[in-house]
Chains A and B, each alone.
Chain A
Amino acid sequence: MKTWAILAQFDTPADLMHAASSTRDAGYRKFDCHSPFPIHGMDDAMGLKRSSVGFIVGVMAVIGATIGFVLQTWVATSAYPLVISGKPLFSWQAFIIITFALFVLFGAFGAVFGMFRLIRLPRWHHPLFYSEQFKVVTDDGFVLVIESDDAKFDENGTKEFLAAIGGKNIELVRGEG
C-alpha cells in the first residue's frame, strides 16, 4: 500500500496550533489538525477561510419559505378554496406560521446535510483509521497529519520537519485515500 500521510502528536492545543502555523509557513497545504474539540484560532493558524455552510443555510431556508408560502397560497386560492368566516381566500397572515416553520426546517436541513457534504461525510473508511495512535484524537490527543499528496511532501523530509516542530510519536500511515 502506498504512503497516505505522516502524523505526529502534540501535547496541548497551543502546541498543535503553533505546529499548524509552522506547517503552513513551511509551504504545506494538504494537512489537517485533529483534536477532540474545536480549537479557537485554528482556522487562522491553518490559513483556512470561513466555512460556506452559512450560504447553504440561507439558500435552503429561502427555498423552504417559498415552498411553504406558494403551496398554501395555491391550495387556498385555487386547488381547494374554502371560505371560512367570510375571510378572503388569500389570507396571507395565516400562512406566515407554516412559511416560517418550513424556513427553519429547510435551513436546518441545509446546515446539517450541507455541512456533511462539505466535510465529505458520511464515509465508512479512512486510511487514518489504520493508525492505532490516531484514536487519541477522540480522547485527549492532538494530532497533525500531512498528506502524501501534498506537493512538498517527501517521506524523510516531512518526518524531520515534524520532529523539528516538536511532533512526537511520528508515524507513517499507509492506505488508499
Chain B
Amino acid sequence: MNTTKHTAAPAVLEEAPLVQGGLTFGGITDKISGIVERPTPKLWWLLFGIALSGTLILAGAIGWLFYEGTGIWGLNNPVGWGWAIVNFVFWVGIGHAGTLISAILFLLRQKWRTAINRFAEAMTIVAVICAGIFPAIHVGRIWIVYYMFPLPNQMDMWPNFRSPLLWDVFAVGTYFTVSFLFWYVGLVPDLATFRDRAKTKIKKMVFGVMSLGWLGGNRQWRHYELAYLMLAGLATPLVLSVHSVVSTDFATSLIPGWHTTIFPPYFVAGAIFSGFGMVLTLAIIARKVFSLQNLITIDHLEKMNKIILVTGSMVGYAYIMEFFIAWYSGNIYEVFAFINRGFGNYAWAYWIMFLCNVITPQLFWFRKLRRSIVAMFTLSIFVNIGMWFERFVITVTSLSRDFLPSSWDYYSPTIWDIMTFVGSFGLFFTLFLLFLRFLPLIAMSEVKGVMPEADPHHHGHADTPAEGGAA
C-alpha cells in the first residue's frame, strides 16, 4: 500500500518530449545537415523547375507591365486597386506567422517553436519579398519609384509623411530588415556547424564566411542570447504594427467598408491566421519529404492547429462584428456596403471567404482532426484560399460599389493579373526551395538547447551520451 502511495505520479501533466525517437545532440546535427549534404533529390529538381517556371512567368508579366503600363491589368474606375494590392496584403500577412513563431513564442518561452521557427522565418522573408514587389510595380511609373523614399533631390521634394502609403514603406521595409537580421543571427551557429562538417574547399570557404567565425564560446553566447532576446522584443511590437499599418491604407480612407476602426486588430489576427495556414502547409510537406517526424512531431502540428483555431475565431468574430457595427452606425452607405458584400455583385467571393476562414477552421475543435495530417493539410489549404479572398473582398467589393451608383463598375482580372499572381507563387517557392536545399531548415542549436539533456541540472538516465561519445 505504502509503496503505491509514494510512487503514484504527481498531479502534473507530463508533456511529450519535443524531440522524439531518442535522437542525441549528434543525431540532430546529422539529421539536419544530412538533408543538405546528400545529393540533390530528383523531387527537388522537379519542384524547383516548376517554381522557376513560375518565376519566369512573373518576370515576363512584370516586363510587359513596365513596357505597357498598368493598363494591362483589369483595373478600372472606381476599382483602382485590384489583385496587385490583394496580393500585397496576402503575402505580407503570410509573413506574420514566421515572426509570431520566432519572436512572440520565444518571449512566451514556448520551447516547441524551435522545431519550426527556422523555416517559418525563411517563409516570412520570402513572403515579404513577394509582397514588396506588388506596391512597387503598382506605382505605374517604375522609374520614379524612389520617390517613395525620403532622398534629398535637386527638386527639393519630399514624400508626404502623413500618408499611410508612406508608413507602409517604412513599416514593411523595417519588417523585412529586422526579420532578415533575426533569421541570420539565428543561422550563425548552424552555419558554423556546416562549416565544420564541410568537406570541399568551396563549402568550407562559403560557410566559413557566412558563419562569421563563430566559436560557440560562452563569451559569445552570453551576448548572442541577449541580442536574440532583444530582437524578439523588438520584433514583437513590430509584427503587430506592420499589418496594422497595412490596414490603415484602407482604414484612413473614406470608402464605406474600409473606414472602420476594427481594421488594425482584425488585419493582425487575419495575418497570423493566414501565416499559420501557410506554415502548416509547408511544414507538413517538409516533414514528409525530409522525414522529420521526430523533430516536427504531431504535437507541434496540433499546437499550430490550435493557433489557427484561435485566430480563425477572431477573424470570424471580426466579420460578424463588421456587420453589426455597420447596422449600429446607422450610416446608409456603411449598411449598404455590407449588405452588398454578403448579397451583392461579389457575394460569391464573400461566401468562399466565410466558408474557408470561419466555418472550416472550427473543425479544429475536434482533437482527432487536429491530429490528422490529411485533415489539417486540407484545412490549411482552405485557410490560404480563404485569406486571399478576404483581401479580395475587402479591396474590390468596397471599391466597385462606392458612393455614387453612376460610377459603379465590375472588376475582373486580366491574364496579366493572373500571371503576376501565379508567378509570385513561383518566386516564393523558388526562394523557399533554395533555402531548403542549402541552409539548415531546422535550428539545430536551438533544438539541442531545449532538450532535457541540455539542462546542466539534468540528471542523466542510462541513455545520456556515452563516455567519449562527444569525440
Contact = CB atoms under 8 A, between A and B. Distances in A.
A27 interface: no
B49 interface: no
Given A53-B227, A76-B161, A98-B167, A125 B213 contact: yes
Interface string B260-282: 00000000000000000000000
A126 B213 contact: yes
B218 interface: yes
A126 to B, nearest CB: 6
A11 B467 contact: yes
A97 B456 contact: no
Given A11-B470, A104-B238, A139 B224 contact: no
A94 B223 CA distance: 36
Interface residues of A, number: 78
Contacts of A39: 218, 221, 454, 456
Interface string B204-225: 0000110011111111111111
Main secondary structure of the interface of B (DSSP, over half): helix
Nearest to B171: A101
B170 A102 contact: yes
B409 interface: no
Nearest to A33: B218
A38 B449 contact: yes
Contacts of B220: 119, 121
Interface residues of B, number: 76
B215 A12 contact: no
A96 to B, nearest CB: 9
Contacts of A163: none
Given A72-B161, A104-B178, A123 B25 contact: no
Contact of A108 (B178, B241, B464): B178
A40 B177 CA distance: 29
B445 A121 contact: no
Contacts of B237: 100, 104
A100 B446 CA distance: 30
A14 interface: yes
Given A35-B218, A126-B215, A139 B29 contact: yes
The CB with the most chain A CB atoms within 10 A, among B177, B196, B226, is that of B226
Given A38-B225, A39-B454, A43-B222, 11 more contacts: A11-B465, A36-B193, A36-B444, A57-B230, A79-B158, A102-B174, A111-B234, A115-B185, A115-B223, A137-B216, A138-B29
